[in-house]
Amino acid sequence: MLARSRPARWDAVPRQDGRRFVVTGASGGLGLETARALAAAGADVVLAVRNLDKGRAAARTMTGDVEVQRLDVADLASVREFAADVGPVDVLVNNAGVLAVPWALTADGFETHLATNHLGHFALANLLLPRLTDRVVVVSSDAHYRGDLDLTDLNWERRPYRPFAAYGASKLANLLFLAELQRRLTAAGSTLRATGAHPGSTATAITANTGDRLKTWVGSWGHRLVGMPAWKGALTTLYAATMDVPGNTFIGPGGLLEMSGWPTGVGRSQAASDPDLAKQLWLRSEELTGVRFPL
């Protein structure tokens, strides 16, 4: 078990020569910093991005072997196309996400947070499992503590829609997916593992699309004032992706309230530790995406 008190400084990603990583949402913020650090450590990195122009611009800021491929995790057709074409992968980093966006349904008929933060990554991971050699990294948030997952109303069509609540629910779904994926891998006798991370409070542009100018401004400047720079916020993901930690380990910042600090093992909510809820969400996710555990 990783120590939680005063974690030591960790910012030196071990060499990753000969290893191939896919990082979703790698054109900006945490994804960009994660991909940049992996490429600098010798990894072959696929920037899986919705906007190819932004992805190519991000790639030009990196050293090492970097390629750009299109992936919209909110669109299951795009997920399937990407998975079919990407080739062998050692590590999948499920990083892309949205926060507190206005209510909308995707092309597949799913609420945007659910589709982007959970279902797309659920499908992508399961489609790639037969070609993975090491692990799946699930990027969640400390907002999962405030998440309430209603499996009977995942699209927020019956309940009044609350953007931050929808985000928290999707981040809770991330951790339930992490736990159930590791349970299934272990039961199948697989050497693959699933690990998780959350960045604490980090200055990124994730609040840019709330549709509410005040919330966007408060979110942006709040994270700038009290949050870590993106390169440091990405360290928890990099730790979960490159260090020898057990499956179902959850890495977060070791500082006060897990808002900042160096990577260390952290806890999770009671709901995120509920094996029955994790199994129920998994089955529901299979129904919605048409993608099943392949091992």
Catalytic residues: 167
**The amino acid at 65:** D
Residue 22's SS3 state is: strand
For residue 90, what are the contacts with CB-CB under 8 A and spacing of at least 6? 19, 20, 21, 132, 133, 134
- Rounded Cα distance between 245 and 121, Å, is 21
Q: Kindly give the pairing relationship between strand 250-253 and strand 263-265.
A: antiparallel
Neighbours of 236 (CB within 10 A): 32
Which of 171, 205, 180, 163 shows the shortest CA–CA distance to 125? 180
- Rounded Cα distance between 80 and 75, Å, is 9
